[in-house]
Amino acid sequence: MDYFHQRRRFLQQFGQVAIAVPGLSLLSDQVLGLAGNQDKKLGIALIGLGQYSEEQLAPALQETQSCKLVAIVTGTPDKVSKWQRKYDIADKNVYNYQNFDSIKNNPEVDIVYVVLPNSMHAEYTIRAAKAGKHVICEKPMATSVKDCEAMIKACKDAGKMLSIGYRLHFEPHNMTIAKFGKEKVHGKITKVRAIDSQEMEAGVWRLDRKRSGGGPVMDLGVYCVQGSIYAMGINPVGVTAKEGPKTDKEKFPDVEQSMEFTLDFPGGASSYCTTSYADKGNLLRVEAEKGWYELSPAYGYSGIAGKSSLDKIDFKQVNQQALQMDDFASCVKNRRPTRVPGEMGMRDVKILMAIYESARTGKKVPLRLG
């Protein structure tokens, strides 16, 4: 099955799935951008040409139906010629961090995708909005709630849309888990287990707190937070966390090596979460009154697999990033709300900050998420 038909099938099957975010109601096929003119491809500029842009986003933009790669922004001049040759990018559509604001004069660019270290997300989201561009910002949205608020305000003031790069909201296995949680298909959910861990190489920016805002909690733990919330179909009300021991103090002088945290939900259920930069694990498991179901692996770019005591959770793999960017382009063209808005990103940053607070104080931190 080719990408276009996979996309149509996915949207037909999961068009009614919505995740609760305060102040937003995401309903119907209209939210997915299925109405209106779908002929014009919107131009996307990637800001930050690191591994994720190079290996995932740029290739995905060769498969998209509603948007295309037209510009790049990089602080590394040596990368420019390679990208220009590979993706036929004109000289006038190449920017650096110093002249980025001049992108406001480029009508070919409709959307800026911010793919930079976490500490730079707020600055470039705000600058992109002021330049009159819609924004997709990679997760985590920012390194503070204050920055999230500023990002949302800047986009609203500019009349531009803001979306967070939560690709799993466009992945059928994960959205089946969300459907089960929203509709309580298997009765009351009693327990969730979420694990996202990987071994991190030394010396990368993710181990620098000033650039990353933290360690695996900020990078991988956000998937555990996200998975727990859409598995439950409701926001948590409290969190308890404990940082794990540092077995490699040379690699982790600045950020946590691992973290265990528990999200408590209304009604008494909890999600038990683990994230680490010195281990391997990739799981989202749900236990309910009538049975259990899980994804293992749960959060990868591909290879996601599901099993259940009651249901078959088996779908063809999709290009998550292509679906994600197509959906946002369609939302922009049709002036529909995105299912992964800045408010959702800010909610999750509030939870991430509460995890660190609980680990620091040893106390349970209440969550007031609206």
| Dihedral-angle region of residue 362 (phi above 0 means left; psi in -120 to 50 means alpha; beta otherwise) | left
User: Minimal CA–CA distance to 137: which of 71, 63, 52?
Assistant: 52
Q: Are the C-beta atoms of residues 14 and 28 closer than 8 Å to each other?
A: no
Give the other-Cβ count within 10 Å of 272's Cβ. 16
Say which of 124, 223, 230, 293 is annotated catalytic: 223
**Residue 139 is among the residues annotated as catalytic for this protein:** yes
| Dihedral-angle region of residue 133 (phi above 0 means left; psi in -120 to 50 means alpha; beta otherwise) | beta
Side-chain-side CA neighbours of 231 within 13 Å: the count stands at: 32
Reported in sequence order, the residue ranges of 234-280 that DSSP labels E, i.e. its strands, are: 238-243, 258-264, 270-276
Rounded distance between C-alpha atoms, residue 297 and residue 277, angstroms = 17
Q: Pull the structure tokens for residue 275.
A: 């994230």
Q: Are the C-beta atoms of residues 224 and 198 closer than 8 Å to each other?
A: no
Query: Given strand 94-95, what is the order of strands in its sheet?
Result: 94-95, 67-73, 42-47, 111-114, 134-137, 162-164
Say which of 41, 133, 139, 182 is annotated catalytic: 139
Rounded distance between C-alpha atoms, residue 115 and residue 137, angstroms = 7
- Provide φ and ψ at 79, rounded to 5°: -85, -20
Side-chain-side CA neighbours of 25 within 13 Å: the count stands at: 2
Whole-Å CA distances, 52 to 109, 115, 214:
20, 8, 19
**Residue 223 is among the residues annotated as catalytic for this protein:** yes
Strands 238-243 vs 365-366: parallel, antiparallel or unpaired? antiparallel
* Catalytically annotated residues: 139, 223
